[in-house]
């Protein structure tokens, strides 16, 4: 069910407002991210400075009829240099774009772009429940390796987070 008119490309500065709007919807309405205040554009621009069109840390956007429908990123897992061969991946779609294969298109292009990079593991932390995100990550060969119970608190309650891992670079 892949939407023929969806295009996936590296993100540019012009996409940041749309990216921020998508993300802030999930901040306000859901537990899938543990941010609890809308991200400002200033913070968003600083965040964008960590990505490039080469290297380990990439940001892809999906567009449909010129509108940003979602984005996917590979980010530093932790700041210490020994973690550089690990990335944390993340994907968010506009609410009207979910369930149409756009997440899979974004991950396909993201992981294609990372081929040949000096990377060994990708991780995704999924606050539960989130069946769509689990299905997407399992489709891309992520395996659940941990369940952290009550790892985050939002909306006055605690949430479990399942951590998923995917080997990269052709070796396990």
Q: Could you give the CA distance from residue 71 to residue 106 in angstroms, rounded to a whole number?
A: 7
Region near ligand COA per CB under 6 A, out of 4-12, 92-100, 111-119, 147-155: 92-100
Within positions 99 to 118, which residues make up the interface with ligand COA, using CB under 6 A? 99-104
Smallest gap from residue 136 Cβ to ligand COA (A)? 4
Per CB under 6 A, 139 contacts ligand COA: yes
Per CB under 6 A, 8 contacts ligand COA: no
Region near ligand COA per CB under 6 A, out of 37-45, 50-58, 88-96, 150-158: 88-96
Which of residues 27 and 84 has its CB atom nearest to ligand COA in the complex?
27
Binding ligand COA (rule: CB under 6 A), the pick from 135, 141, 146, 147 is 135
Per CB under 6 A, 148 contacts ligand COA: no
Which of residues 118 and 139 has its CB atom nearest to ligand COA in the complex?
139
Per CB under 6 A, 126 contacts ligand COA: yes
Per CB under 6 A, 32 contacts ligand COA: yes
Per CB under 6 A, 132 contacts ligand COA: yes
Place of tokens 């429908």: 69
Q: Which of 122, 126, 37 is nearest to 77 (CA)?
A: 122
Per CB under 6 A, 26 contacts ligand COA: yes
Q: Is the dihedral of CA 171, 86, 47, 136 positive or negative?
A: positive
Q: Is the dihedral of CA 137, 119, 171, 165 positive or negative?
A: negative
Footprint of ligand COA on this chain (CB under 6 A)?
Answer: 26, 32, 91-93, 98-104, 126, 130-133, 135-136, 139
């Amino acid at each position: 069910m892949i939407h023929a008119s969806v295009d996936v490309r590296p993100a540019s500065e012009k996409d940041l407002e749309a990216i921020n709007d998508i993300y802030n919807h999930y901040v306000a309405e859901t537990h899938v991210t543990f941010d609890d205040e809308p991200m400002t554009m200033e913070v968003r621009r600083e965040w964008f400075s960590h990505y490039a069109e080469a290297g380990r840390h990439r940001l892809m956007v999906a567009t449909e009829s010129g509108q940003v429908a979602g984005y996917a990123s590979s980010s530093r897992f932790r700041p210490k240099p020994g973690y550089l061969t690990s990335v944390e991946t993340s994907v968010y779609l506009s609410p009207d774009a979910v369930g149409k294969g756009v997440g899979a298109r974004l991950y396909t292009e993201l992981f294609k772009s990372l081929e040949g990079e000096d990377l060994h593991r990708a991780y995704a932390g999924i606050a539960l429940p989130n069946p769509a995100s689990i299905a997407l990550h399992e489709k891309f060969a992520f395996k659940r390796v941990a369940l952290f119970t009550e790892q985050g608190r939002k909306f006055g309650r605690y949430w479990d987070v399942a951590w998923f891992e995917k080997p990269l670079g052709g070796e396990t």
